[in-house]
Structure formats: C-alpha cells, structure tokens
C-alpha cells in the first residue's frame, strides 16, 4: 500500500538535455525549456548588478558580460573533469525540475535523453550528476525518446538534428541496439561556425558575434532556393547597415547535408533488405535543425534516388524529446527502474 502511494506521489519527468536548449515535461502537466547556459557572477559588483547568485538560459546570456558563463553540454555530452561544467549541468537539471515541481517533497523519477552513440559514457556521468535530485533515473538515446513519444516504434527512422549532434535511430518494433543508431557532430553549431566564417569573409568591416549569428540562423535558415533574399542589419563603424547573407546562409545550412544523407543511406543499407524501402519511406526529422526551410523536400529528393522515400518533421521540435521521455517514464514497468 505504501509503495503504491509513493509511486503515485512521484514527480515523473522526461528531460531532453541539449547543447543549445534543454526541455522538461512532467506528469504535473507542466513543461518548460531553457537555453542551456548557466552563469555565476564574476565578483561582488556583478552579483549586485544581476541580483542573483546563479542565472540560467536567456537571463544568463543577457548578463553574460557580468558572469562566468558555462555552456556545459558540448556535443550533447557532459564535459567530465571540468568542475564548473559538471556543476552547471547539475544546477541546470535542478532548475528544470524546480520549474515543473508541484510540491517540494515529491520524489523525482526521470528519463533523460542523450545523444545516441554517447549513451554509455553519458549514462554514468548523468547518474552521478543527478543522484542528489532523483530517486530513480533512466538514460536513453534522444531519438528513441522522440520515437516513443510519437508512437513511431516500427519501420521508422528518427533523425534528431540538434546543436551539438545529429542522432539517427532505426525503430523496428523493439528497443534499438547500437547497430541501429549513429551520431555525427556536424550539427547546428557547425552551421553557426560556417555562417560566421562566411559572413566575416564577405563583410570584414561588419561587427557581429556568434550569438547574433545563431539568431540569424534560427530565423532565416534554409536549403535549396528562396524567393526572397536574406537581409539583415549589422553595425559598421557603429552604424546599422543592411547586408545580404543569402548565399552565406544557404552554404552554411547545406554544409551538414552530405553527412546526413550518407549516414542515412548507410544505416538503411545495413538493415534487413526486405524492410529497407519501408524505413526510407518513413523518416522523421526532430530537433531544432528539423525547422530548416526546405530540408524535408531536399532529403526526400536525394534519398529517392535509392528508392521510394518520405521525409517529414515533428510538430513540436522543442518538446518532442522531453515528451517522449515522459511517456516512456510513465509506461516503464516497475522492475526496469531498479536496473543499472
């Protein structure tokens, strides 16, 4: 009787720990997200200015000149051995849980999504980082969490295009194995670097930083062709001046496509030949990169050279991983929570 009450009273959460953004969904019907930044005031003046001992997300970015700023999830991986970043991950997780908690004394059960091929390494690091904040914790691959939330559990490929990694997972009616999954590192941050370098090369007199470039990408990213040019304002000698970055945006966004197509083709070609056409016809893009204009039609056209292909995107890229992790946590048999 008491164990049932304990389970019922648990705060159950699904967490998508991302390089750029982290999201949480809870059985309290609350869901929240934050940019994956944590900052501490540099000195007593900074603390007086910001008025807090620790800041998260957009608030941390807005006050970054006063802070020791951490973006701890490089390539979606906890940077072990770097004390500040390990502390930042713990604080970020605690902050997310606090945002959705219904009552202070609830025990927390969490399913946390991490990049596909780094699952084994991250499992230990995450369990260690979150031990003080959870009663039970499971670590799964991010694309598997997305697939579970969509109930896309058979004859489907999930491609999760994040900031630090792009994760691939073939679902075929069972828990995916290592052979069913891949991770590549040329993802959203790589696009930012290519766009920054392209803009610098074309407009050396313009003044901008990586955060500005990231915002331009999120607003204007595309592959293929556009009907209207991408025009932005940048300061030149402190005067805001219009700049055309259409070609730079196109080149930067398309720079990740060859690796995506190649990895997709490789996974499909290694799969059971009788089911390859089914997988190719049911590809779902998730993550922030799924919102790049034209990416679904571009990929579908390229993959159609090997056979019938179908590519679509998730409706809610921000919470698809967290929602899936929560669904998995709710459905998980009790015996699984006690497994290592």
pLDDT tens-digit series, residues 14-43: 999 888 899 999 998 999 999 999 999 999
What are phi and psi for residue 163, nearest 5 degrees? Answer: -80, -45
Query: What is the arithmetic mean of pLDDT over 218-228?
Result: 93
Q: Give per-residue pLDDT as tens, 273-291.
A: 999 999 999 999 999 999 9
Domains: count for the chain: 2
pTM, 2 dp? 0.90
Query: What is the arithmetic mean of pLDDT over 61-87?
Result: 81
Last residue of a domain, one of 254, 281, 309: 254
Spatial CA neighbour of 17 closest among 158, 155, 127:
127
DSSP string of 317-330, one letter each residue: TTTHHHHHHHHHHH
Share of the chain above pLDDT 90, in %: 70
Report how far apart, in Å, the C-alpha atoms of 208 and of each of 64, 192, 309 are.
16, 12, 40
162: helix, coil or strand? coil
Last residue of a domain, one of 202, 224, 254: 254
* 199: in domain: yes
* CA end-to-end distance (rounded Å), the chain: 26
Q: Looking at the structure, do residues 71 and 141 belong to the same domain, yes or no?
A: yes
Query: What is the arithmetic mean of pLDDT over 82-88?
Result: 81
Task: Name the band, by pLDDT with cuts 50, 70 and 90, for residue 51.
Answer: very high
Q: Looking at the structure, do residues 193 and 142 belong to the same domain, yes or no?
A: no
Task: Kindly state the tokens that stand for 204.
Answer: 């050396």
CB within 8 A of 44, min separation 6: which ones? none
Residue scoring higher pLDDT (131 or 118): 131
Query: What is the arithmetic mean of pLDDT over 231-242?
Result: 95
Q: Looking at the structure, do residues 130 and 213 belong to the same domain, yes or no?
A: no
CATH number at 68 reads 3.30.420.40
Q: Looking at the structure, do residues 144 and 192 belong to the same domain, yes or no?
A: no
User: How far is the C-alpha of 166 from the C-alpha of 295, rounded, in Å?
Assistant: 14
Last residue of a domain, one of 254, 279, 297: 254
Q: Looking at the structure, do residues 64 and 197 belong to the same domain, yes or no?
A: no
Task: Name the band, by pLDDT with cuts 50, 70 and 90, for residue 336.
Answer: confident
**Choice among 22-31, 69-78, 231-240, 251-260 with the minimum mean pLDDT:** 69-78
Q: Which residue has the tokens 């595309």?
A: 222
Query: Can you give the residue range of the structural domain that contains 196?
Result: 188-254
pLDDT of amino acid 218: 94
The yes-or-no verdict on residue 170 having pLDDT over 50 is: yes
Residue scoring higher pLDDT (316 or 85): 316
* 249: in domain: yes
Task: Kindly state the tokens that stand for 146.
Answer: 């997305």
User: How far is the C-alpha of 13 from the C-alpha of 96, rounded, in Å?
Assistant: 10
Q: Looking at the structure, do residues 138 and 39 belong to the same domain, yes or no?
A: yes
Q: Looking at the structure, do residues 111 and 216 belong to the same domain, yes or no?
A: no
């Amino acid at each position: 009787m008491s164990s049932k009450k304990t389970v019922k009273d648990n705060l159950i959460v699904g967490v998508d720990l991302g390089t750029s953004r982290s999201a949480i969904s809870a059985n309290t019907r609350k869901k929240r997200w934050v940019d994956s930044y944590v900052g501490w005031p540099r000195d007593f003046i900074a603390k007086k200015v910001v008025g807090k001992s620790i800041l998260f997300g957009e608030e941390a970015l807005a006050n970054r000149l006063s802070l020791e700023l951490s973006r701890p999830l490089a390539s979606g991986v906890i940077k072990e051995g770097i004390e500040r970043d390990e502390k930042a991950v713990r604080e970020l997780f605690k902050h997310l849980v606090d945002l959705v908690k219904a009552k202070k004394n609830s025990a927390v059960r969490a399913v946390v999504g991490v990049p596909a091929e780094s699952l084994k390494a991250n499992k230990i690091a995450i369990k260690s980082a979150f031990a003080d904040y959870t009663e039970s914790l499971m670590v799964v691959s991010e694309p598997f969490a997305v697939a579970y939330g969509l109930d896309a559990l058979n004859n489907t490929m999930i491609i999760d295009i994040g900031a630090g990694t792009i994760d691939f997972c073939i679902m075929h009616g069972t828990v995916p194995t290592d052979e069913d999954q891949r991770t590549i590192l040329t993802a959203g941050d790589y696009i930012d670097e290519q766009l920054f370098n392209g803009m610098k090369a074309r407009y050396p007199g313009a003044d901008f930083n990586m955060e500005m470039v990231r915002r331009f990408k999120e607003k204007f990213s595309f592959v293929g062709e556009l009907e209207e040019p991408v025009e932005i304002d940048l300061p030149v000698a402190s005067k805001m001046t219009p700049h055309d970055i259409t070609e730079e945006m196109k080149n930067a966004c398309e720079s990740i496509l060859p690796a995506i197509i190649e990895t997709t083709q490789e996974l499909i070609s290694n799969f059971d030949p009788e089911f390859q056409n089914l997988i190719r016809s049911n590809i779902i893009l998730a993550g922030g990169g799924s919102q790049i204009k034209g990416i679904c039609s571009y990929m579908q056209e390229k993959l159609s050279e090997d056979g019938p292909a179908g590519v679509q995107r998730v409706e809610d890229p921000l919470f698809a991983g967290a929602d899936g992790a929560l669904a998995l946590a709710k459905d998980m048999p009790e015996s699984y929570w006690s497994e290592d």
